[in-house]
Structure 1
């Protein structure tokens, strides 16, 4: 596919503008709607983008190059690096060493948190790689991080737990963990989101805590 600054802009901004990417490109470059749709067609035909919905409600997404989901039973002997080598790390071989290291470190820190603190017995891992992004999802059926922090520190509610978590290093097991895992991750990834029991804490590197 021949390089185009317009299509490059679309790929770089599509995740944030899935429903209004056409209008966003029109405002940016002063093109007609038909001209923008031709660029979208090229990206769709090239396997970079997928279109969803009918014409009026159409939205677009970056097409996954890799999309993998695996559910694992949590056992006392399970180790995060073993999970990573088997299910995740091979899919990162095409990236530069610094990207691989960031993804591997982030994955192992989060999974270690699940294995050490969640008290759950099942964990679902999802990896999605697109032309512009790497998405890592980790979900467990345990007690929930905000509740865990609230109960350990005897806080008034889970909102206070989120506040404590957002301040920086925090751990409920100081003898075995420094509490810097999540603190480090939020400064390595563009976006980090933690959801539990209907509450959500999100860190966006361009906006800060939300």
Structure 2
């Protein structure tokens, strides 16, 4: 008997959003059934076979053309909540589930507020693409640029270094007025999140459960885009809960090691120090070694022995190691701190 699974599992395997998979099923590109409870379920093998018989354009056709809603707004005196109300009234209305509305509202107001408070630009461009199955948002400006600004204010080496700091959470140029949580939690709450600045593109793909850094044509200013399923049933409180403690404090973070270097090899103590900088702001730090092919003794010693001894209030847990990396990490850990496995902790 075929194994029937829910939309989220198949979507992750294919690397598409659940909304896109539903769209393919509705259009007859892939087969689906209904469970006794009324949920749409899929046979992964049948889905792969159906896609193999179709041309690539059936699966990868462009989804984003002209925005459904677009405005160029002067930043002076702009209020993000007022713009959000306009978007809801003009475009979204009843398109969002209660959970989707909470997530979309949080992400939209946080990202627009960043442009208002930090960009130094005269105007901001806001765009929304909306359909029954998917919604995409964009906030862009031609101001000082998020990464250039962070680099200068924090005295960092370059924009790539600034991006590394941004991915950790609690990173802000204005700690008296901002917590540094908006970008971090928005990137975790939506399906796909992209920030472009200083010629770099940071993508957080929560469908594939992956992150990547690449080149961007945005050198001046900042462009932030995110996509989400309007019918999501995941409460945003669950996203916050994964990184907060019993006192609701943002005390946990997950750092992807591969984002902090060029390539997949990390051998020096200087790389380790850059990776660990500022992580003492958290009580628990998960270091994700997924995709890393080689680590040196000095790197491991700094990350897993030297740094934890200097910051005893922070628990460091490595995950995602395989092969030689797992060997070096286990060799470098104190015996009491040995990880229980190579998967997520």
What TM-score, normalized to structure 2? Answer: 0.45
Corresponding residue number in structure 1 for 2:93: 93
Q: Tell whether the 8 Å contact from 1:68 to 1:127 is kept in structure 2 after alignment.
A: yes
Whether the 8 Å CA contact 1:73–1:121 is kept in 2: the answer is yes
* Cα distance change of structure 1 residues 30 and 119 upon mapping to structure 2, 3 Å threshold: closer
2:204 maps to 203
CA change 1:135–1:159 in 2 (3 A) is same
Number of residue pairs matched by the alignment: 175
SS in 2 for 1:61: coil
| Superposed displacement of residue 123, structure 1 | 0.5
Superposed displacement of residue 159, structure 1: 0.3
Supply the distance in 1 between the matched residues of 2:169 and 2:153 (Cα, whole angstroms). 17
Structure 1 residues 64 and 26, CA gap change in structure 2 (3 angstroms):
farther
Task: Map residues 142-181 of structure 1 onto 2, 5 A cutoff.
Answer: 142-181=143-182
Q: Supply the RMSD in Å over aligned alpha carbons.
A: 3.3
Larger radius of gyration: 2
1:70 match: 71
Say which SS state the counterpart of residue 174 (structure 1) adopts: coil
Question: Matched residues in 2 for 1:209 and 1:130: separation?
Answer: 26
Q: Would the aligned equivalents of 1:92 and 1:100 in 2 still touch at CA under 8 Å?
A: no
Separation in structure 2 between the aligned mates of residue 30 and residue 133 of structure 1, nearest angstrom: 22
SS in 2 for 1:70: strand
Find the residue that maps to 2:189 and give its secondary structure.
Answer: coil
- Matches of 1:32 and 1:145 in 2, distance apart? 41
| Residue of structure 2 in register with 1:29 after alignment | 49
Contact 2:20/2:134 (<8 A) preserved: no
Question: 1:31 Cα deviation (Å)?
Answer: 7.9
The residue number in structure 1 matching 2:115 is 114
How far is 1:173 from its partner? 0.4
On the 8 A contact 1:63/1:130 being kept in 2, the answer is: no
Q: Which runs of 5+ in 2 are unaligned?
A: 1-6, 8-17, 31-44, 213-345
* 1:100-119: CA deviation from partner (whole Å, max 9, x where unpaired): 11111100000000000000
Judged with a 3 Å threshold, the aligned counterparts in structure 2 of structure 1 residues 120 and 26 are, in CA distance, closer, same or farther, namely: same
Q: Distance in 2 between matches of 1:29 and 1:141?
A: 45
Q: Which residue of the partner structure matches residue 43 of structure 1?
A: none
Contact 1:14 1:61 in 2 (8 A): no
1:167 CA drift (Å): 1.2
Q: Secondary structure at the match of 2:129?
A: strand
Q: Please give the secondary structure, in 1, of the residue aligned with 2:121.
A: coil
Asked if the contact 1:62/1:130 (under 8 Å) is kept, the reply is no
Alignment check: 8 A CA contact 1:80 1:111 kept? yes
Q: Classify the secondary structure of the residue corresponding to 1:187.
A: helix
Distance 1:164 1:81 in 2: 28
1:45 aligns with none
Mapped partners of 1:208, 1:32: distance in 2: 24
Describe the SS at the equivalent of 1:115: helix
Secondary structure at the counterpart of residue 69 of structure 1: strand
Give the superposition deviation at 1:85.
Answer: 1.2
Partner secondary structure for residue 143 of structure 1: coil
